[in-house]
Chain A
């Protein structure tokens, strides 16, 4: 029993569309003929999903993951090929896309429910369970613009999982929210699988993919290059991103996970410029290792921004054994607004042996802080302008 079928679906974007928003442009193009600049975001993708299946989608940036989701959602139409959907799909790509800042949480539930195709009566029946699941207390009757990032996403997720869609489409949501809430979400998703629903899940969090997906596809340049169980697909993905990490690394120390904490000591992945941020690396040393060096790298759009490590900062770790953590605290986050990625590594003192390495796949976002910085990537602390004029 299939719930979702894509047959040879392609999506092409005409490159000139970007400029076609004036009458003059359109007439000029009609006279000159349309240039043939076409870009295929998806190339002949075929996919059939059964009910009770949870599909993970992984791939590099620009590999066509989002386009695939958009087609499944119905947000954009395939250029060629067919899409067949049996049952009701959740037609929303980003959980909080429909939120209206000035309306209260409760009003937004109704608005978002309507956006998902529900009638007011149907939403009314579910509203209690949505509010229960979101668990944001009295804030439900406050305008959502007053919400914290976590509350915002909790409400979004609560709406998504409580409407009775047969096909759920989830694009990276677990990143925000404390561990208890993440647990709750995971439990809910597993419950869905047992109810015979289909889940399409896009994430960079390979651990999460491993945990809930029973089938994983790897996208590359608009095609599916691997369609297999999670273990195998993840292996394929890792080799694809060129690191071949698992072969060269000794794995005597494993990096289990990387977390971000904000100045209140809570897990977060959205920070303000200048806010205190702490990066915590959780590791497992399979045997006693002397003088290990832990390092992190921060990237933005494939640009390597900073790469501090414990050795260069004169922080000596004599030896490690079993589980533990290493933390790196930035009293004032020196980055401007944007999306960043973090990598982590651990090697021996003179870098002749690499124990473990994680690709830049841990995302965090920086939003403007107290001081508005419009240009550039770096925000330097303790700076001062001066000036002299004429003879001074």
Chain B
């Protein structure tokens, strides 16, 4: 596995070239460019603020900012994985005709979406400066948060891209799982709210979802100016690594038959 990682490092150029190709294809012919990528989370933020603030009277300060700091990372996750699941099928020609570590394909989708996410983070930071308090001491932990999210996403992207190649049902299952995942992650509601109403045992189970630590981390940094909860984050880190190795193992097994299947 270490050897394989070294090999992928050797192919880093391909990783970036593919990501760049993705971005160019997407934005070259669209006025507004990356802006389009940011519109979706904004629109979601507007809709959710309306529903939860005015209809359900959720008591959260700075609710739109709170929503955005959860929605941007979520959309990053969602759009990367959506693209990754088709990455093997869509590049059938490359796989049949040329040799390179196949892991590059799903991961390049994360790279291209990560560039969009960086823009989103800048916007988030600006909002945070204007509407809330940002502390430098909290901001230092942002790279750690991003790293954990990236590790988890790499694992899932490897998993879904290989499974979707072999079982075409994966695509549909993913839609359902994403929907559930969205609501068991504190994006539209604060984690604090659950702490008040859930039994501690259930809460512990809830925190096994690696996105709980990650998303609430973003919210702490951008909305409250606090450092992320390191306890939650270490759970996220542990599970992200687990997902990564699992995804890697599944991909390596499936990879053998890609060229024969597609």
B residues 239-262 near A (Cβ < 8 Å) are 256-257, 259-261
A26, A93, A103: the one contacting B98 at CB < 8 Å is A93
Contact with B along A116-142 (1 / 0, CB 8 A): 111110000000000000000000000
Per-position 1/0 for B4-48, Cβ under 8 A of A = 000000111110111001001100100000000000000000000
Expressed in whole angstroms, the minimum distance between the Cβ of B19 and any Cβ of chain A is 11
A77 → chain B closest CB, angstroms: 6
Q: Indicate if the CB atoms of B25 and A114 lie closer than 8 Å.
A: no
Q: Which residue of A lies closest to B93 (CB)?
A: A97
Known: A70-B259, A102-B24. A23 touches B98 (CB 8 A): no
Interface digits, A215-252 against B, CB 8 Å rule (1 contact, 0 not)? 00000000000000000000000000000000000000
Neighbouring A residues of B11 by C-beta, 8 Å: 114, 117
Residues in B whose Cβ lies below 8 Å from that of A111: 17-18, 21
- B24 and A23 form a contact (CB under 8 A): no
Contacts of A94 in B (CB 8 A): 97
* Complex-state Cα separation, A371 to B96, whole angstroms: 31
Chain B residue nearest in CB terms to A77: B256
A117: chain B residues at CB < 8 Å are 10-11, 13-14, 100
Residue of B nearest to A107 (CB): B24
* Pairwise interchain contact A75-B259, C-beta atoms closer than 8 A: yes
Residue of A93, A107, A115 most packed against chain B (CB within 10 A): A115
Closest to B169 in A: A23
Complex contact B13–A103 (CB within 8 A): no
Q: Is the pair B24, A103 in contact by a Cβ cutoff of 8 Å?
A: yes
Q: Are A93 and B97 in contact (CB under 8 A)?
A: yes
B167 within 8 A of A: yes
Alpha-carbon distance A152/B146, docked complex (angstroms)? 41
CB-CB under 8 A from B183, the residues of chain A are: none
Contact B167 A97 (CB under 8 A): no
Q: Which of A13, A77, A117 has the most CB of B within 10 A?
A: A117
Choice from B98, B259, B261 contacting A97 with Cβ under 8 Å: B98
Contact indicator A75/B24 (Cβ below 8 Å): no
Nearest chain B CB to A377's CB is how many angstroms away? 25
* Interchain CB contact under 8 A, A75 and B98: yes
Mark each residue of chain A from 87 to 106: 1 if its CB lies under 8 Å from any CB of chain B, else 0: 00101111001101011000
Count of residues in B whose CB is under 8 Å from the partner chain: 30
**How distant is A65 from chain B, measured CB to nearest CB, in Å?**
15
Q: Is A352 an interface residue (CB 8 A)?
A: no
Instruction: Tell yes or no: A21 within 8 A of B by CB.
Output: yes
Whether B260 lies near A17 (C-beta < 8 A) is yes
- Say yes or no for B94: interface residue by CB 8 A criterion: yes
Most chain B CB within 10 A, of A91, A98, A103, A116, is at A98
- Chain B residues in 8 Å Cβ range of A329: none
Which residue, A21, A77, A91, A114, has most C-beta atoms of chain B within 10 A? A114
- In the complex, whether B168 has a CB less than 8 A from a CB of chain A is yes
A22 proximal to B (CB < 8 A):
yes
Given contacts A107-B24, A119-B13, contact A23 B167 (CB under 8 A): yes
The answer to whether B97 touches A75 (Cβ under 8 A) is: yes
Does B166 count as interface, using CB distance less than 8 angstroms? yes
A97 to B17: give the CA distance in the assembly, Å: 15
* CB <8 Å contact, A97 and B97: yes
Binary per-residue interface labels of chain A (167-199) against chain B in the complex, 1 for a CB within 8 Å, 0 otherwise: 000000000000000000000000000000000
- Let me know if A20 is at the binding interface, CB within 8 A: yes
A115 and B260 within 8 A (CB): no
Query: A357 CA to B183 CA in the complex, in Å?
Result: 73
Complex A-B: 17 CB contacts under 8 Å: A21-B167, A22-B168, A26-B167, A75-B99, A76-B259, A89-B99, A97-B96, A97-B97, A98-B94, A102-B24, A103-B24, A114-B14, A114-B18, A115-B14, A115-B17, A120-B13, A120-B16
Spell out A's residues near B (CB within 8 Å): 13-14, 17, 20-23, 26, 70, 73-77, 89, 91-94, 97-98, 100, 102-103, 107, 110-111, 113-120
Ordered nearest first, which 4 A-B pairs have the shortest CB separation? A74-B99, A91-B99, A97-B97, A114-B17
Q: Give B contacts to A, CB under 8 Å.
A: 10-14, 16-18, 21, 24-25, 28, 93-100, 165-169, 256-257, 259-261
Given A89-B99, A97-B94, 15 new contacts (CB under 8 A): A21-B165, A21-B166, A21-B168, A23-B169, A73-B99, A75-B99, A93-B97, A98-B98, A111-B17, A115-B14, A115-B17, A117-B10, A117-B11, A119-B12, A120-B13
